[in-house]
Amino acid sequence: MYTHGFIAYDCGGPQINVTAFNSMEVDECEIPIPVENEHIRRIKLLQKAETYPIHFQTCFISVNYLITRCSTFEDAQMVDGGYTSEIIELGNARCQEIHQRRVYTTTIGSIITDLKINQTMLISHNNGGKLDKEGNCEGSSFTNSRGIWNKVIVKQNTPYTYQKA
């Protein structure tokens, strides 16, 4: 695209300066190729993040249940979903008591004492129903996070591991 003439106005002064010229008499202009500049950004670290360990305590108990029915013969009958496990998270107060006194009171009132750091104790007890040495059996109701059972004997196995970081 060529331009044969154009008008330029000089608005920078107090008087109007109108100029016209013929662009056919002007030599062709070479448009300079723009130079690509590469900017290297430099940053300076003004503050160093400090890291330090934070000690925390948490208490979870893993409980395994074996749920059976009383049988007329000497064998036990496993119920549907009869082997189940759950993880119980203890509250802050009970967790602190375990860490301070090394004592844990179970949900059925048993007291476990002398918990040792990084040692596991396996405690087993009946959590539902009655069973004696003579073979007398009486089932009861049992409920946990996995379901509800009626007329069952519940044996609870709980490994207690006390760990301190």
What pLDDT was estimated at residue 8?
63
For the chain, how many structural domains are there in total?
1
Q: Looking at the domain assignment, is residue 138 inside a domain?
A: yes
What pairs with residue 19 in β-bridges? Answer: 8
Its domain, for residue 133, covers 60-92+119-160
Q: Which residue has the higher pLDDT, 2 or 132?
A: 132
Q: Comparing 62-71, 87-96, 145-154, which segment has the lowest mean pLDDT? A: 87-96
What pLDDT was estimated at residue 31?
75
Cβ 60 vs Cβ 88: under 8 Å: yes
**Cα-to-chain-centroid distance, residue 70:** 42
pLDDT band at 3 (very low <50, low <70, confident <90, very high): low
Tell me what the mean pLDDT of segment 148-155 comes to: 91
Pairing of strands 130-131, 137-138: antiparallel
Q: Which residue has the higher pLDDT, 23 or 114?
A: 114
Single-letter code of the amino acid located at 16: I
Look at residues 161, 165, 60, 63 and name the one whose alpha carbon lies nearest to residue 120: 161
Q: Looking at the domain assignment, is residue 80 inside a domain?
A: yes
pTM of the full structure: 0.57
Q: Could you read off the pLDDT of 98-148 as tens digits, one per residue?
A: 888 888 887 778 888 888 888 888 888 888 888 888 878 888 999 888 889
Here the tokens at position 26 are: 């002007």
Q: Looking at the domain assignment, is residue 111 inside a domain?
A: no
Pairing of strands 140-144, 147-162: antiparallel
Examine the pLDDT at 11 and tell me if it is beyond 70: no
What pLDDT was estimated at residue 128?
87
What pLDDT was estimated at residue 75?
65
Q: Looking at the domain assignment, is residue 31 inside a domain?
A: no
Q: Which residue has the higher pLDDT, 92 or 13?
A: 92
Q: Looking at the domain assignment, is residue 85 inside a domain?
A: yes
Examine the pLDDT at 164 and tell me if it is beyond 80: no
Q: Looking at the domain assignment, is residue 16 inside a domain?
A: no
Q: Looking at the domain assignment, is residue 43 inside a domain?
A: no
What pLDDT was estimated at residue 10?
64
Q: Could you read off the pLDDT of 36-74 as tens digits, one per residue?
A: 888 888 888 777 778 888 877 778 888 899 999 887 766
Q: Looking at the domain assignment, is residue 107 inside a domain?
A: no
